[in-house]
Amino acid sequence: MFKVFFAEWRKLRRPTLFFGTFAAALFFTGLITSFIYLMIDSPSGNSDRGRRVGREVLNLASGSVHGFASIGGLLGIIVLCVFAAQTAQEYTYGTLRNLLVRQPRRLVLLMGKYAAMKTFALLLTLISAGVSIAISIYLSDRAKVSTALWFTSAGWSAIAHTLLNVYISIVFYAVIGIALGILLKSPISAISIALVWILILENLIGAVKPVTLKWMPGNQFSTIAQGGSPGGSLDISYSHALTLGSGYVIAALLLSSFIFAKRDVAN
């Protein structure tokens, strides 16, 4: 499996893929984190869906990673697209046949791919968190936000918990991406279906009947990144999102493993 892991990383570290993915992730990290602080007094809100994040929230011990937690879902979508495309392209270009010549045990090959994905997600989480925290520190004075509690024991605990939650969310998104790539064997189909569902259909269905958001996979993954979404008209607890989200991911893992092991590798 280690050879598969390093072979997968050989593909992931291609400059166009690696730097392109991280550039997109860091761009949105910087943009959304900056928006929270620069628009803190805006009456139209400074967070998603017009919500306001005030100084009383950013002054808390968790204030340094509030911006990072809010973009966990977006980072997950980026990683989902990357791994859906990379997995499906192996069918499109026929490279999966060559891989199976060197490693005929299909499930071992798949495990190596998932292991490489997890380390890629971890690296993306750590770098994005560092950029978001640095921007938060830089803009805190301008926004008149106190950082006194950010790096206390409670603050470091909040940072660690947020990093873990965002990492779990990103991995969950990536698993769905790999599963879609295996199932559809087409990069365009896998990415478009994922984006249409997560960004459009879930929001449309949720707008008509908000209670359905408690059961939508994309909303569960984003809620995990934020550590739950208490308050408001829709209260989704962290435990609910983690349990349901894990169920979706386990189902995707089992389905993709069965298809990968049994189906012909031709596109």
Query: Minimum mean pLDDT among 8-12, 119-123, 188-192: which range?
Result: 8-12
CA 83, 88, 90, 93 dihedral sign is negative
- CA dist., res. 140 & res. 33, Å (int): 11
* Total tally of structural domains belonging to the chain: 1
pLDDT digits (tens, 9 = 90+) for 196-239: 999 999 989 988 888 888 899 999 999 999 988 754 456 788 99
Highest mean pLDDT among 69-73, 94-98, 124-128: 124-128
Q: Tell which residue, 113, 133, 120, 118, has the closest CA to residue 62.
A: 133
Share of the chain above pLDDT 90, in %: 70
Give the model's pLDDT for residue 229: 76
Q: Tell which residue, 121, 13, 46, 43, has the closest CA to residue 77.
A: 121
pTM: 0.92
The answer to whether residue 214 sits within a structural domain is yes
The answer to whether residue 61 sits within a structural domain is yes
The answer to whether residue 218 sits within a structural domain is yes
Instruction: Name the residue range of residue 170's domain.
Output: 2-262
Average pLDDT over residues 145-173: 95
Q: Tell which residue, 29, 72, 40, has the closest CA to residue 146.
A: 40
The answer to whether residue 223 sits within a structural domain is yes
Asked if 102 contacts 8 with a C-beta cutoff of 8 angstroms, the reply is no
Q: Which helix (H) or strand (E) holds 196?
A: none
Q: Tell which residue, 70, 124, 130, 121, has the closest CA to residue 249.
A: 121
The answer to whether residue 46 sits within a structural domain is yes
Average pLDDT over residues 246-257: 96
The answer to whether residue 267 sits within a structural domain is no
The answer to whether residue 227 sits within a structural domain is yes
Give the model's pLDDT for residue 97: 85
Asked if 216 contacts 205 with a C-beta cutoff of 8 angstroms, the reply is yes
